[in-house]
């Protein structure tokens, strides 16, 4: 009898997968998540910083009279990629950072603050509408599928920036792979409809949702789970942290916020979406190896024990066979890493 082979079947395969993943910049925080990831059937992506580059470029900037230093200061008050893009744009114009009062960041919406008695708002159009801002129709340029950043002073629209981000190299390849692998692929973003639609169209994603707050994303994940779906959530920002905590398998991209990294089960050290392909391939290959190991270990004992009891196997051969069964399980587990042998 060889209980060793049974005892080695799962842990050796899991350890091999953890090592193979680390070499490719895929960090599984728990060995159990490998099996969970392999069983997922729905992949949900955030847009900005996940499918598109985190560094957004200002394509258009309209100012209706707001001090640029004030806009710059508001942009610096948030770490959101859209705000960071505006701050970088204005930084090149040698703007000065004012000390704002009562600064408050509202997740997935924007920032409110005050300066010398003036009430300031910066963020999305939805945020502006919720706060009764007037004059949004005074901006001339159409949205054109770009991310929008608005500034209001004392309830009146004062400036608007339109920003665009390139789709990451490898994003289309990643989405296509997941589709071929049987995943339903969705985009869940806090950005405007036009921007999300443009990204979804380029990547071939039919189902997408826009202007999603953190709690909206979390509710979306839970509703899918109630329908029996196994959800893989991929994000990188503060706005994704809540949804990541509810997902069956949570993946955070390399440049993700600290809270998103903390809530994730898998961390991709690279910001290349193709790292997710490696994670899924590795997870599924590991589960297959575990099943093969268990099948071999159980089959070996079921066959060998009756033969030994009936006297068809002498003790010397039985002893050698017991050791060889454990070696076979280990060697089969080591084959997991070979799935990437010819791939960079």
- Span 148-161, pLDDT tens digits: 899 999 999 999 99
Q: What is the pLDDT of residue 203?
A: 94
Q: What is the pLDDT of residue 2?
A: 64
Q: What is the pLDDT of residue 343?
A: 47
* Helix or strand holding residue 101 (H, E): strand 101-106
Q: What is the pLDDT of residue 175?
A: 96
Burial of 207 (0-12, 13-18, 19+ CB in 10 A): exposed
Question: How far, in Å, CA of 38 to CA of 249, rounded?
Answer: 9
Q: Does 182 or 316 have the greater pLDDT score?
A: 182
Q: Could you report the per-residue pLDDT of 262-300, keeping only the tens digit for each? A: 788 999 988 889 999 999 999 999 999 988 888 877 777
Assign 340 a pLDDT band (cuts: 50, 70, 90).
low
Rounded (5°) CA angle 46-51-54: 90
Read off the pLDDT of each residue in 121-133 and give the average, rounded to a whole number: 91
Indicate if 272 belongs to the active site.
no
Q: What is the pLDDT of residue 142?
A: 66
% of the chain beyond a pLDDT of 70: 94
Please determine, for residue 143, whether its predicted confidence score (pLDDT) is greater than 70: no
Q: What is the pLDDT of residue 256?
A: 61
Catalytic choice (41, 46, 191, 248): 46
Pick from 92-106, 152-166, 257-271: least confident: 257-271
């Amino acid at each position: 009898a060889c209980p060793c082979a049974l005892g080695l079947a799962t842990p050796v395969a899991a350890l091999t997968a953890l090592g193979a993943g680390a070499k490719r910049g895929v960090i599984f925080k728990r060995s159990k998540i490998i099996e969970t990831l392999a069983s997922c059937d729905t992949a949900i992506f955030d847009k900005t910083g996940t499918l598109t580059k985190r560094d957004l470029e200002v394509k258009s900037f309209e100012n209706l009279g707001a001090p640029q230093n004030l806009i710059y200061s508001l942009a610096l008050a948030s770490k959101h990629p859209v705000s960071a893009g505006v701050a970088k744009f204005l930084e090149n114009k040698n703007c000065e950072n004012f000390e704002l009062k009562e600064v408050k960041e509202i997740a997935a919406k924007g920032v409110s603050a005050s300066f010398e008695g003036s009430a300031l708002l910066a963020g999305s159009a939805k945020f502006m509408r919720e706060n009764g801002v007037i004059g949004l129709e005074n901006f001339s340029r159409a949205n054109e599928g770009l991310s929008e950043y608005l500034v209001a002073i004392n309830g009146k629209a004062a400036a608007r920036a339109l920003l665009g981000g390139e789709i990451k190299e490898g994003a289309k390849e990643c989405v296509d792979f997941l589709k071929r692998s049987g995943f339903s692929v969705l985009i869940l973003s806090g950005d405007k409809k036009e921007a999300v639609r443009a990204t979804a169209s380029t990547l071939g994603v039919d189902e997408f949702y826009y202007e999603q707050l953190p709690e909206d994303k979390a509710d979306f994940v839970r509703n899918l789970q109630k329908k029996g779906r196994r959800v893989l959530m991929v994000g990188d920002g503060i706005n994704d942290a809540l949804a990541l905590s509810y997902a069956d398998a949570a993946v955070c991209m390399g440049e993700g916020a600290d809270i998103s990294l903390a809530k994730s089960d898998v961390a991709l050290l690279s910001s290349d979406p193709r790292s997710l392909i490696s994670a899924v391939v590795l997870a599924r290959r590991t589960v297959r190896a575990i099943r093969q190991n268990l099948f071999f270990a159980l089959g070996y004992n079921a066959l060998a024990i009756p033969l030994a009891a009936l006297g068809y196997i002498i003790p010397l051969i039985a002893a050698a066979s017991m050791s060889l069964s454990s070696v076979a399980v280990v060697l089969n587990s080591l084959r997991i890493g070979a799935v990437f042998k010819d791939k960079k």
